[in-house]
Amino acid sequence: MVATILHLASLEAAQPKRQFPDTADTIRVYVDQLPGALTRSQLRFAAAHYVGTQKLLSQQIDLLRTQNPDFLMLHYRLGTRQAESRVIHIHMDRWATDWEEVDRHDDWFIYTRGPNRQRVYQLVSGNREYIMDISGRYNGNREFGWKEYWVKTVIAEAQACHADGVFADSTHPPYAVPPELNDSPLGAPPYLSYIPHLEEFYEYVYKKLDEAGLYFIPNIGHLITTWDTTEGYYKNVHGAMVEGFGFRGNTADWRQQQNRTLKLLNNGKIYIAQSGAGVEDIQERLWYLANFLLLKHHRSYVNIFVRGPGLEGQLHWRPEYELRLGRAVRPLPKTIDECRHPTGVYYREFERGLVLVNPQPNPQTVRLAGEQVYQRVEPWGGGIVDAGGRPPRGGVRLHDCGREIRLEPWSGVILLKAAASEPPQEKSSTKHSE
């Protein structure tokens, strides 16, 4: 009996202290990164409007949690690569690098063959990121190799900065290795031989972080690379970020992204959808939000950050985040084609609305069935939150629409259900900090 009690207690201790909130009937925002210095008003805004963020020191996250004890924070770290001596993450609760320690372990790196032996790297914005021996099988070190070091280090780092888990950026095969480095065990692109090693890394990291009561949430990219068949993205994780969700430009790639994302969601994993849109580009904003709603489940979070010259920023708010569509009428689809209309438009019905997405290069017209009256959503305003904790004024205009809805190429439409006698209206955003 004592052994049983101890076993149950150990299982309970491994649960993360903070849980990702239910999003079945609401839109919630997980912001990628907050500014380094927040005013008191901005801090209150962030704590009240976002589910969580990344890349904060313990002092910063503790301040946010005085306003919202449930505010989540993920520690940032590259997953399968190591930046040289650049400081790009928080190491032991300070902006620093562990390059000196990593550099002394030759058997954690992958090398080219031949007399001019070099470490294999890829270039990211002109900077070197070394491709690591993530399984230990390239160099034979499977006891204290890269994955063992990585897990031990990120657990210590997460605990030091009071994080709830680890956001493992760029945890997928390499994509920008210079051609002169192709004479290595990786070979030339596509890097199919790396996938079994990646599977082993995912399985090991997921198990160890789960035992430590920490979330393992990698950035798995666009999910449109056909040759990248890694299964760990969807099963050996607590969740994942799809950076560049709502892919535009090719319908087949869009469908593949949706189906791979659905594989993640139908496994019950956390989903963070991130893309950028211009402040005044209403159609772009609607495209991304409609794509998000098309797949949203009970632990889905969006971040349509502000993009544009001189406007880049994560401390932002968009009034369309406040839309209340209620729950989806039908269960999450297994494949995206379960949502397909004969016109090639994809749709999903909610208790209080309807979402339409046209991922095609040609306009399409959909005729609404039944007697339900709808109003078309048009957001306006919003943007970067100022030092007083106030986003620019914004809201949502609702327009009456007929039975036929025209969707422009690569566009999304959000409709709210309304009584037939209800006139068009405008709802202003009110969720501003005092």
Domain definitions of the chain by residue range: 2-328
Strands of the sheet containing 127-131, edge to edge, are 81-83, 127-131, 121-124
Element (H, E) at 2: helix 2-13
Mean pLDDT by 10 residues, the chain (434 residues): 42 77 98 90 97 96 97 97 91 95 97 94 94 97 96 98 97 94 95 97 98 98 96 98 96 98 98 93 97 98 84 83 97 97 97 98 95 96 95 95 96 88 49 38
Identify the pLDDT of residue 422. 47
- Answer whether the bond into residue 190 is a cis peptide, omega within 30°: yes
d(CA 236, CA 239): 9
Handedness of CA 206, 207, 208, 211 (dihedral sign): positive
- Best CA proximity match to 302, nearest among 218, 246, 250, 360: 246
d(CA 412, CA 261): 18
pLDDT at 61: 97
- Global pTM reads 0.93
Q: Which CATH class is domain 2-328?
A: alpha beta
Q: What is the distance between the alpha carbons of residues 354 and 377, in angstroms, rounded to a whole number?
A: 10
Look at phi and psi of residue 361 and say left if phi exceeds 0, alpha if psi is from -120 to 50, else beta.
alpha
Q: Which amino acid, one-letter code, is at 231?
A: E
For residue range 139-163, what is the model confidence (pLDDT) as tens digits? 999 999 999 999 999 999 999 999 9
What would the DSSP string read from start to end of 170-185? T-S------GGG-SST
Buried b (16+ CB within 10 A) or exposed e, 56-71: bbbebbebbbeebeeb
